Structure 1
């Protein structure tokens, strides 16, 4: 997200000075370059998620994605032709899809389910900081040091990330050195929660068996993973064709990301992710213009307004910790509901006074703080849906998601929703503000926020009327 946002304040000047685009066409090409990135991210996310679940390592696709990201950054840095910039944005969207999808799947592989909320809180913090801080830094560095210095920050960040990926030791590799400890920790997690082991521990057990070659556990062993079937007899009989309903057998033959879309829990999480991203990115197209109109602020002063949006995101890990204790439903729904008043109150920012400037900063901080309660629950809910779906499939004698699982594909769907929100939010806010005014825009965003709390409350973590959540 930092690499995406760092060039936002730079591209208009690059089009005019380097590509010799006329002033009247700059807005058109900027909008097109933004749309191309979002379209590429939407298009490649599900396919790359499916591909990542077919690979044996998370590190390899991460490295490929980072090198593709480096290539797109070089093209954006050196390219002067519009066609080169468009190709670079397509490649940037595809490579970002790899890094997003595989990175979140790696997190779900590694962190036990009961601590995943706090871990995803740090991910949410990084995402929000990348979205909100990068335009500010990009604009300041561009003004002080020039065009190439902006991309120098991008190259340094990619290089650091490549080094960290090379140093990465995946959990299934680390288990070679101490498989007994890994199995003991998995059993401890089972006894603590009273439930089946989480998918990351299940993967650890499978890989520990493959490296250490112990005898397979009996069918009723508590260490048997929910991803595994008991060791078969020497000559097993084929399963009868009537083992389950035809609809279930047909669904088990679909790609996992299509099977997951049958889950109302997942659909609620994807819808909430789309709206959350729409709300937080809606300011990209209207905030600078608004403060320029009423306060007379230029680009640097307007960019500082993104700080009230960025600072509250630092509580995201605490939100994740809370979510691990109470579940995803109530933090996410409460976040949407409590964000409605500050969204609507934006309409009262009308005059060039100190009071209105303070009011605007306070409202932006409140909105960001409330929406911070919505991001982490959606990311964790997607992991929970994958686990619950596979458990149900195995209980119905279906095939399940296989050795690779479906985390990357599920987060590919999440990535599509988030990217869709990054497209819809600025367009919606900009169109309404232009056609109906700033006050109407605040009402629209507030009502959209309140409406999203309804499916979030009803289906996050399972149907609200169910005692045992289902996928």
Structure 2
């Protein structure tokens, strides 16, 4: 009987492989962002009465909201989503780190995502729609916090940059594809078809989660099937709770310990900065291009797609971060982003040259963003490992990766709230040029804490470790 229990599951090598687990988390993030994007109003033709994707239709036809109040309710639905994202990020991060496995926390996020989608599909009253969006925000917090922690559990913090780059690219595909995909389905097949497709993708997402075998569960089979003398045999660290040096004394709450690290606080702050910059462009760029160049919503959307396009190079930024560390990447990205954003303020002419100038700058904003975003999130996991080395057992037997990412996601959610409000107010009061100057200056000033507190370069860290090991001999 015991021998049968030790038999590995079917296709366990594939189901526990780095590629399959990272793909599953990438798909979960893609679907989550895709569902978020369905609420954004999108009008391909300003003279057309058809709005894309489906929420204006939902509010007008199903909820009975007057046409002049639709935009206001869309803003409320976005704000409710952000509230759920903000509140859920630290909460789900703490919950995920209370369990040995990520199975139930991540599964709960996917179930919440399915429940919120069904409420938005069948709900008619605006109160139900608001509740559905709040639940979707909670689901996003869970999927991001737990999913990122699962990736770190799988590939390790020292090699996480490339994998986190793939997650960022998945997010970008969702942002770019959501309006077009949902608009196309709605136009061809109707309202119900949009949500049916979304539900099918969420169900497939849940199936992927069911198939995943986490590394910590596959360890016994990996070691059993590997020659002890094989140099490729994985060096799997033991559970800290099993080690003789595990500290069982009471410690402060992990969130308090994490926030006591200037390195983590800086990474969290940079996450907030990037959210402010990106959502500011998302808010004011369509209006600026429409008034300055006479663009339709389609062309304005393509302009913002140039910003998001930079995230497709996130894997390269992740590889670079894995090699040289977060500090040089983030500092370089912040300086470049600040300069490019300030230059965007000069794209105010109506000539073709001015338009091309803005397009190139927007692409530069996206490239600088990927150089900042991925290394910053990689840094959040490295901080946890650093604190754990200095104070073994301070986070308990299961670590604090999810809580670290929960704080980062909380900051990002806060930035998505501040960014639209700040940019909308400043553009109305002082204009496009001064808004870009303020955002660019904000980026450049963020270089100071980044240079002071973000981790050392990889080369120096390895040198320090070699020095320590030599001193112990």
TM over 0.5: yes
Contact preservation (8 Å) 1:19, 1:80 = yes
Residue equivalent to 1:416: 410
Are 2:397 and 1:403 aligned?
A: yes
Question: Distance between the aligned counterparts of 2:219 and 2:111, measured in 1?
Answer: 28
Q: How far is 1:343 from its partner? A: 0.8
Shift of 1:183: 10
Which stretches in structure 1 are left out of the alignment for 5+ residues?
A: 191-196, 207-225, 233-237, 240-248
**Do the aligned residues in 1 keep the contact of 2:325 with 2:456 (CA within 8 Å)?**
no
Q: Which runs of 5+ in 2 are unaligned?
A: 1-32, 42-52, 466-473
1:181 CA displacement: 6.4
Deviation of residue 189 (structure 1)?
9.4
1:143 CA displacement: 4.4
Whether the 8 Å CA contact 2:59–2:65 is kept in 1: the answer is yes
1:47-103 superposed Cα distances (whole Å, 9 cap, x missing partner): 211111112321222222111101101111221211001111111111111111110
- 1:329 matched to which residue of 2? 327
Please name the residue that 2:419 is paired with: 425
Tell me how far apart the structure 1 counterparts of residues 284 and 227 of structure 2 sit (CA, whole Å): 53
Q: Does 1:230 align with 2:244?
A: yes
Give the C-alpha shift of residue 184 in structure 1. 6.0
Contact 1:141–1:150 under 8 Å retained in 2: yes
SS at match of 1:285: helix
For the 8 Å contact 2:338–2:440, the answer to whether it is kept is yes
Separation (CA, whole Å) in 1 of partners of 2:233 and 2:343: 46
Pick the aligned partner of 1:442 from 436, 445, 453. 436
Q: Find out whether 1:128 has 2:172 as its counterpart.
A: yes
1:345 is aligned to 343
In the aligned structure 2, how far is the partner of 1:45 from the partner of 1:186?
Answer: 41
Task: Measure, in 1, the Cα distance between the counterparts of 2:228 and 2:333.
Answer: 38
Instruction: Write the deviation string for residues 273-316 of structure 1: whole angstroms up to 9, x where unpaired.
Output: 11112111212211221222223222223222232123221111
Change in Cα spacing, 1:28 to 1:157, as seen in structure 2 (3 Å) is: same
User: Residue 2 of structure 1 is aligned with which of 27, 34, 54?
Assistant: 34
1:289/1:150 CA distance change after superposition, 3 Å? farther
State the alpha-carbon separation in 2 of the partners of residues 145 and 287 from structure 1.
Answer: 31
Which stretch shifts more, 415-424 or 370-379? 415-424
Q: Structure 1 residues 90, 231: closer, same or farther in 2, change over 3 A?
A: closer
Contact 1:133 1:306 in 2 (8 A): no
Q: TM-score, normalised by structure 2?
A: 0.82
Deviation at 1:187, TM superposition (A): 8.9
1:292 & 1:364 partners in 2: Cα distance?
A: 16
CA contact (8 A) 2:325 2:457 kept: no
Correspondent of 2:148 among 84, 96, 104: 104
Segment of structure 1 superposing worse, 415-424 or 296-305: 296-305
CA distance in 2: counterparts of 1:253 and 1:459, whole angstroms? 24
**Contact in 2 for aligned 1:136/1:304 (Cα 8 Å):** no
2:391 partner SS: helix
CA contact (8 A) 1:101 1:415 kept: yes
**What is the root-mean-square deviation in Å for CA atoms of aligned residues?**
2.8
* 1:274 counterpart (272, 275, 296): 272
Distance 1:303-1:468 versus aligned 2 partners, 3 A rule: same
Select which of 58, 61, 78 maps to 1:17.
61
> Is 1:71 aligned with 2:115?
yes
SS of equivalent residue, structure 2 residue 345: helix
- TM superposition score normalised by structure 1: 0.82
